[in-house]
């Protein structure tokens, strides 16, 4: 089965433009024979929405989703956007669209509000990490800062997830060498570690382009269940990265390293109860 990662440059606050390009990229991925097309964090709105948050947000039942829902009858789509809840709370969210329906919603759990980041001022925090059945099998969606907290990956791991969709709008930081930032290397190290320790595929989809002085570095990649990067996109350039996914590799990796079988979450639960009482 083929999966496409779409590394593209959103226009800040221009939902209709970004939607049109999302449809175009998804159509291209479908023609390449992909079953799933994955887009970056906040791909429908741009990243630095801040004061635009309340203008670009849409509800899950918004007709603006219609073109993507219709296309999802032919190819499954993972896309990021600003969600407005019925209670008027706004979330940095991503959805998995399939067969004309929203099959799964993830609200970003960890909101960076330090340094150049200011998400906590505008977004509500998600409070769940859940798995779902994608076209590939048991999967989870995590968004950027979520991945910097091992708890989200661990919760996915305990739910038997085999495929982790990691959406990001990560600005390049820590210049390392020509056309390479230090944090891009950290993301690769992270993907290699998580995929190996969970015996899962790790799909890292990062955007490109610039916004308000942010330079988004791209370098999307896929690491297999053995912790090997098997496909990598270029830095800074728009690109569709398409890979062949083989679930039998998940089986082989978990036979060789049966960490899920031997995991003891009850120890973690007991420790958390004890720590909660001590805090």
Reading the block at residue 69, the tokens are: 């829902």
84-96 tens-digit pLDDT: 999 999 999 999 9
- CA dist 42 and 39 (Å) reads 9
Residue 183 CB: number of other CB atoms within 10 A?
A: 17
Q: What is the DSSP string of 181-192?
A: EHHHHHHHHHHH
Q: For residues 147, 18, 72 and 104, what is the CA-based torsion angle, rounded to 10 degrees?
A: 30
CB atoms within 10 A of CB 33: 12
User: What total number of domains does the chain contain?
Assistant: 1
- Selection from 183, 274, 161 nearest residue 235 by Cα: 183
pLDDT in tens, 190-231: 999 999 999 999 999 999 999 988 889 899 999 999 999 999
Helix (H) or strand (E) holding 275: helix 265-278
Q: What is the pLDDT of residue 269?
A: 94
CA dist list (Å): 258 to 139, 148, 227:
19, 24, 15
| Local structure of residue 146 (DSSP, 8 states) | G
Q: Which two tokens stand for residue 216?
A: 């988004």
The DSSP secondary-structure symbol of 126 reads: P
Instruction: Give the CATH number for residue 142.
Output: 3.60.110.10
Rounded distance between C-alpha atoms, residue 154 and residue 3, angstroms: 24
pLDDT tens per residue, range 34-79: 999 999 999 999 999 999 999 999 999 999 999 999 999 999 999 9
Asked whether residue 182 carries a pLDDT value surpassing 80, the answer given is: no
Q: What angle, 0 to 180 degrees and rounded to 10, lies between the N-to-C axes of helices 150-158 and 182-198?
A: 30
Assign 175 a pLDDT band (cuts: 50, 70, 90): low
How do strand 201-206 and strand 163-168 relate by DSSP bridges?
parallel
Domain carrying residue 79: 2-278
């Amino acid at each position: 089965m083929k999966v496409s990662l779409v590394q593209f440059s959103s226009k800040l606050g221009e939902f209709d433009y970004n939607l049109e390009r999302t449809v175009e990229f998804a159509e291209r991925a479908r023609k390449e024979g992909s079953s799933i097309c994955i887009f970056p964090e906040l791909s429908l709105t741009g990243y630095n929405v801040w004061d635009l948050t309340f203008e670009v947000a849409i509800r899950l039942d918004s007709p603006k989703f219609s073109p993507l829902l219709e296309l999802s009858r032919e190819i499954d789509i993972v896309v990021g956007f600003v969600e407005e809840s019925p209670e008027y709370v706004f979330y940095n969210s991503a959805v998995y669209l399939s067969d004309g329906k929203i099959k799964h919603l993830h609200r970003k759990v960890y909101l960076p509000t330090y340094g150049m980041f200011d998400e906590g001022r505008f977004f509500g925090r998600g409070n769940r990490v859940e798995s779902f059945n994608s076209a590939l099998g048991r999967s989870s969606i995590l968004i950027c800062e979520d991945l910097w907290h091992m708890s989200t990956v661990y919760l996915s791991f305990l739910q038997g997830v085999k495929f982790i969709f990691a959406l990001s709008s990560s600005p390049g930081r820590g210049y390392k060498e020509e056309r390479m930032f230090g944090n891009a290397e950290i993301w690769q190290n992270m993907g290699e570690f998580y995929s190996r320790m969970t015996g899962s595929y790790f799909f890292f989809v990062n955007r490109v382009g610039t916004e308000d002085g942010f330079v988004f570095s791209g370098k999307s990649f896929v690491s297999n269940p053995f912790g090997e990067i098997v496909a990598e996109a270029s830095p800074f350039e728009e690109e569709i990265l398409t890979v062949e996914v083989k679930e039998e590799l998940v089986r082989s990796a978990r036979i060789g390293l049966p960490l899920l079988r031997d995991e003891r979450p009850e120890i973690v639960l007991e420790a958390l109860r004890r720590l909660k009482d001590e805090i």
